Amino acid sequence: MVIIGENIHVIAKAVSVAIRERDAKVIQALAKAQTEAGANYIDLNVGPMKKDPEDTMQWLVNAVQEVTDLPLSIDTMNPVAMEAGLKHCKKRPLLNSASGKTDSKENMLPLAKKYNCDVVISVMTDKGMPPDVDSKIESIMDTVTHANELGIPNEDIWVDPIILPVSTAGEGQRFAVTNLEFIKILEDVLPGVKSTVGLSNVSNGVPEELRPPLNRTYLAMLGRNGLYSAIADPLDKELMSLTKGEMPKIAELIHKTMDGEDIDLSILSQKEVEYVKTARVLMGQTLYSDAWLES
Amino acid sequence: MDYKAPVEAYTGVVREVTIGKGNKSLKIGGENILPLHFFDQGSNPNPVKFALEILDMKPEDWPEHAVEPFKDVISDPVSWAKKCRGFAVDAVSLFLMSTDPAVKNAPADKAAALAREVAEAIDVPLIVYGSGDEKKDVEVLSKVAEVCDGMNLLIGPVLKENYEAVGKAILDHGHTAIAQSPLDINLLKELNVKLSKIFPPDRIVIDPLSSALGYGMEYSFSLIERVKQIGVITKDSMTMMPIIANLGGECWKTKQAKENKKQGLLWEGMTALSLLLAGANILVLRHPETLKLIKETIEAR
């Protein structure tokens, strides 16, 4: 699993202040920590970057490249900031992200061709978020075809099905299941494409201390279905060891839960029970509540 | 080729909950089929029940046509409760509105004494709703539970914010609890999970909040429907509780119900019938003629 380190994110106060004040130390510390923790890419999520996009992006990319040799994922909706970022990358970067929206097709996708980089393409279109597996497949096939016509081969495309919070009343669990299915069949409908997800969004809105179990379990489940990469927190040690196959018993329990097998919880450790309960929630087998580990 | 209608058999059973004591008791829930799916394998041993709502003070904002059936007793909750009996109710629901700090902030002692007096005066079980103020209700509902010790009233709303204190009082004095959450199935389950750690789940009734027709009823409908499906079909222990639809007050707040009587009866009646179809086990109505209308509709099949 390719892990794109998510921690340089403008929503984090320290990061946004550091970018505004050109304080490289904060950013470099995060880049170094993620590199040491085993990330494969460093994501630079700068948001829309309305002010001074070119200079800021160049500064940020250079600051990070001073302390890490990892390739970068340039994460912004602003095409000017995007181009400035891609231009200064030493390693082949990841354009994060384009979509099937007209605006993105016209302004983002051509940059992937121009800078010969990998590109994340989400299932979003002008009509919004496709609600089920079939419509997600339909939208992404359209957008990938368009990208191919621009000269971007499948092998450079990382498809993002868009993860939504599992705690969203009523619909959240259905979304989680839909994306598991989507990842499972993606390789058959678009041979050669890669895949990625913004993992942490699955636990958005959940009490802070309860987010890691959801993130870890869902990544293991998506991984089993063939997910290629995830934007995630490499500083979460348990997440990383699960991803690297260092927790085979837990992985096996998650797989059994996905297959709907009966599992005797009474003979498992508390941690194992928690993984099974979390996988059941993410499979839509039991109704989500913030007390899902307690019932 | 002969057609054979498919018959479903589910494994989940909604808990059967008893309210009241002895010959004043009533059972709700207990079904292992979806609402009105009598063609499937299973049964509903306790068809839907009806309560009428009374207030602990003279209502100030009711239209005349809602006051009319009770106009001679509207200032006396005990006589009002007794009069409900003439309309063949299965239970009476006392709303302790005057205890609300924003209304009269009436003391808990007084409310509890009234609850006891009403409970003793009627020969059907009593439901008691506090004002919904999460702090004041701790005082009021705990006192009601204590003063009515052993009478097995159905008491609520028990909320996420006060379930520990209110739940304990209800349990210690032998009553049944109404667990209320704000129109959200995940929050509803969370409250049941937490309450069940200190309270027997077979003495919990779910109040998912019932909105009136035109004012969000479809949310209440989908939620009740979903609670039943998840309980009966997927056997989720924390949604297998009967449901109370406390809808009278919501319906009579609407402009349409206040405008004229016929419209009001139909507004309350359509809301009640819809939530009944969704799976509510007991409905709290305000107008006795709505009750009559619904009973006739059910009996006419």
Report the alpha-carbon distance of residue B116 to residue B90 in Å, rounded.
Answer: 18
* CB-CB contact of B92 with B52 (8 Å): yes
Expressed in percent and rounded to 5, the helix, strand and coil fractions of chain A are 50, 15, 35
Nearest to B63 by CA among B243, B240, B268: B268
| Average pLDDT score over residue span B293-300 | 92
Within 8 A of B238 by CB-CB distance, chain A residues are 287, 289, 295
Within 8 A of A295 by CB-CB distance, chain B residues are 189, 193, 196, 237-238
User: How far is the CA of A69 from the CAs of A24, A58, A156, A184, A228, in angstroms?
Assistant: 16, 16, 20, 32, 21
Look up residue A168 and give its two tokens: 């969203």
B128-169 tens-digit pLDDT: 999 999 999 999 999 999 999 999 999 999 999 999 999 999
* CB-CB contact of A64 with A88 (8 Å): no
CB contact under 8 A, B189 and A170: no
User: How far is the CA of B169 from the CAs of A249, B155, B174, B239, B298, in angstroms?
Assistant: 45, 10, 9, 23, 37
Within 8 A of A173 by CB-CB distance, chain B residues are none
CB contact under 8 A, A289 and B234: no
* CB-CB contact of A46 with A56 (8 Å): yes
Say if residue B1's pLDDT is above 80.
Answer: no
Within 8 A of B185 by CB-CB distance, chain A residues are 169-170, 287
Look up residue A213 and give its two tokens: 């179990």
For chain A, domains (ranges, CATH) are 2-244 (3.20.20.20)
Look up residue A204 and give its two tokens: 């958005």
Look up residue A291 and give its two tokens: 């007390």
Report the alpha-carbon distance of residue A164 to residue A202 in Å, rounded.
Answer: 5
CB contact under 8 A, A291 and B193: yes
Report the alpha-carbon distance of residue A215 to residue A232 in Å, rounded.
Answer: 8
B57-66: b or e for each residue (b if 16 or more CB lie within 10 Å)?
bebeebeebb
- To the nearest whole Å, the CA of B83 is away from the closest chain A CA by 42
A175 touches chain B (CB under 8 A): no
- To the nearest whole Å, the CA of B232 is away from the closest chain A CA by 13
Say if residue B243's pLDDT is above 70.
Answer: yes
* CB-CB contact of A96 with A74 (8 Å): yes
Within 8 A of A288 by CB-CB distance, chain B residues are 186, 189
What 3-state class would DSSP assign to B189? helix
Closest residue in B to A173 (Cα) is: B186
Look up residue B210 and give its two tokens: 């019932």
* CB-CB contact of B294 with B248 (8 Å): no
Considering the segment(s) B17-300 as one domain, its CATH architecture is: Alpha-Beta Barrel (3.20)
Report the alpha-carbon distance of residue A95 to residue A118 in Å, rounded.
Answer: 6
CB contact under 8 A, A287 and B239: yes
Say if residue B276's pLDDT is above 90.
Answer: yes
Query: Which residue spans within A218-257 are E strands per DSSP?
Result: 229-232
Report the alpha-carbon distance of residue B168 to residue B141 in Å, rounded.
Answer: 11
Q: Indicate the residue of B185, B193, B230 with minimum beta-carbon distance to A295.
A: B193
Report the alpha-carbon distance of residue A55 to residue B21 in Å, rounded.
Answer: 77
- Single-letter amino acid, residue B116: R
Element holding B285 (H helix, E strand): strand B282-285
Report the alpha-carbon distance of residue B23 to residue B110 in Å, rounded.
Answer: 27
- To the nearest whole Å, the CA of A203 is away from the closest chain B CA by 14
| pLDDT digit string (tens) for chain A, length 295 residues | 999 999 999 999 999 999 999 999 999 999 999 999 999 999 999 998 888 999 999 999 999 999 999 999 999 999 999 999 999 999 999 999 999 999 999 999 999 999 999 999 999 999 999 999 999 999 999 999 999 999 999 999 999 999 999 998 778 999 999 999 999 999 999 999 999 999 999 999 999 999 999 999 999 999 999 999 999 999 999 999 999 999 999 999 999 999 999 999 999 999 999 999 999 999 999 999 999 999 8
pLDDT at A94: 98
pLDDT at A295: 81
pLDDT at B300: 84
A265 touches chain B (CB under 8 A): no
Share of chain B above pLDDT 90, in %: 96
| Average pLDDT score over residue span B44-56 | 97
Closest residue in A to B182 (Cα) is: A169
User: Number of C-alpha atoms within 13 angstroms, CB side, residue B11?
Assistant: 4
What 3-state class would DSSP assign to A281? helix
pLDDT at B301: 61
CB contact under 8 A, A170 and B222: yes
Within 8 A of A207 by CB-CB distance, chain B residues are none
Look up residue A75 and give its two tokens: 């994460």
A286 touches chain B (CB under 8 A): yes
Closest residue in B to A206 (Cα) is: B186
Report the alpha-carbon distance of residue B127 to residue B282 in Å, rounded.
Answer: 11
Query: Which residue spans within A174-244 are E strands per DSSP?
Result: 194-195, 229-232
Tell me the torsion sign for CA atoms A44, A47, A48, A51: negative
Interface probe with B: pick from A287, A290, A292, A294, most Cβ of B within 10 Å: A287
Report the alpha-carbon distance of residue A235 to residue A39 in Å, rounded.
Answer: 9
B82-99 tens-digit pLDDT: 999 999 999 999 999 999
Q: Indicate the residue of A167, A286, A290 with minimum beta-carbon distance to B236.
A: A286
Q: Indicate the residue of B185, B193, B194 with minimum beta-carbon distance to A170.
A: B185
Nearest to A119 by CA among A101, A99, A103, A138: A99
Beta carbons within 8 Å of A17's beta carbon, 6+ residues apart: A23, A26
Question: Number of CB pairs < 8 Å for A and B?
Answer: 44
CB contact under 8 A, A287 and B234: yes
ipTM above 0.90, yes or no: no
